[in-house]
Amino acid sequence: MKSLKETIQDIHGELCHISDYLYHHPELGDQEYQSMQLLTKLLEEHQFEVETDVAGRNTAFKATFDSGKPGPTIAYLAEYDALPGVGHGCGHNIIGTMSVGAGIILSTQVAEAGGSVVVLGTPAEETNGAKVPMSEQGFFDSIDVAMMVHPGDQSYKSGEALAMDAIQFSYFGKTSHAAAAPEKGINALDSVIQLFNGINALREHLPTDVRIHGIIADGGEAANVVPDKAVAQFYVRAKERKELDAVVEKVQHIAEGAALMTGARLEVSNYELSYDNMITNQALSKAFTKHLENITAQPVFPAKEGYGSIDMGNVSHVVPAIHPYIGFDMLGLTAHTQAFADMTITDKGHQMIADGALALAQTGFEVITDAKLLVEIQQEFRKTKC
């Protein structure tokens, strides 16, 4: 039986080829058909049983390799959606291939060691993350740990991410000629303006970790027509879900007040799925960090203070999970840029695929073969859920 290192050497070229193809053919969230086909084809070639069109998402998949022997089930989560304009400016082409690579590498060991390996294809992380319905629909019920690793400027331990709600406020008024008969109109845009003013006043009285930012998605059609419809979209974020729910309630009260001030009618909805805060399992994170440090000469820095939001947060509330970063060793390189995307097809990007996949696989193998570590992971998870 080949070692984990020997297996990554065998498949590294194919993983790099897929990652580069995804870079040159980026697909937006829930449209990643070619990306999904390439990743699942490789898994099928390595004897994974693959289901596609899962969790109500056409480009989601579940690939399973079951040893038939008792043991933990390790899940690797693959992302492969791109961004408008900059393509794979968040490196999801690398994330997808690292997770698939890790699954294939670990599958070569479970026939003897026991347990199972699952690779979950999770579309649309940038917009409407599939990990949310997967978490809600029981995809993690039989899984012991869930892992993925994200490209970054440098390597960082798995840390926190904010809980987030994406809320749309739609106001409906009454049209009229803005100059000839303004008194006959109800200005829906005025409601949106008052909503922004109210939220700006609220900021003074919120914890420092709270983030509220929004846009006017619809502000009317013409300056001489009183707008009968106006729409604002906001992201509201906080360190924990309980805190976020309290802030959202205050924002909704402001929105209702804005409607009362103008006489408009208000409709509130979620325009994207809600993300929970990320809870890193420190025992699992420590194991991954150890393996990554042994593979690469780059230092692994403490977790960054996280003000973004990720759908991996929802996963971390139902199963022990980590979301660390592996670096290009380029301090200050910013994600969601063309420069970041371009790094994914360099020699550094290709080496990152090998290093990340191997570290994930070694961590999974340790969880399978070290019963004490698994107990530690499970005990910590139960405490965080209390």
What Rg, from alpha-carbon coordinates, does the chain have?
23
One-letter amino acid for residue 6 of the chain: E
What gap in Å lies between CA 49 and CA 204, rounded to an integer? Answer: 53
- The CB-side HSE value for 13 (13 A sphere, CA atoms) comes to 2
Q: What pLDDT does residue 111 have?
A: 86
Same-domain check for residues 128 and 198: no
Q: Residue 212's domain is classified under what CATH number?
A: 3.30.70.360
Q: What domain range is 258 assigned to?
A: 163-270
Claim to verify: residue 240 and residue 311 sit in the same structural domain: no
> What type of residue sits at position 337?
T
Among 218, 246, 270, which residue terminates a domain? 270
Query: Do 1 and 112 form a contact (C-beta atoms < 8 A)?
Result: yes
- Does one domain contain both 67 and 201? no
Whether 86 contacts 336, CB under 8 Å: yes
CA nearest to 368, candidates 102, 111, 73, 120: 73
Q: How far apart are CA 349 and CA 298, in angstroms?
A: 14
CB 312 within 8 A of CB 278: yes
Each residue's pLDDT tens digit, 306-342: 778 999 999 999 999 999 999 999 999 999 999 999 9
> Backbone phi, then psi, for 278, in 5-degree steps?
-80, 130
234, containing H or E segment: strand 229-238
In this prediction the pTM is 0.92
Side chain identity at residue 32, one-letter code? E
Angle at the Cα of 323 (from 318 to 326), degrees rounded to 5?
A: 165
Kindly report, residue by residue over 73-97, the tens digit of the pLDDT. Answer: 999 999 999 999 999 999 999 999 9
Q: Is the domain of 45 the same as that of 136?
A: yes
Are residues 40 and 151 located together in one domain of the fold? yes
| Domain end residue (candidates: 270, 289, 305) | 270
pLDDT band at 1 (very low <50, low <70, confident <90, very high): low
Cα dihedral 346, 349, 350, 356, rounded to 10, equals 170
Task: Give the residue from 270, 297, 328 where a domain finishes.
Answer: 270
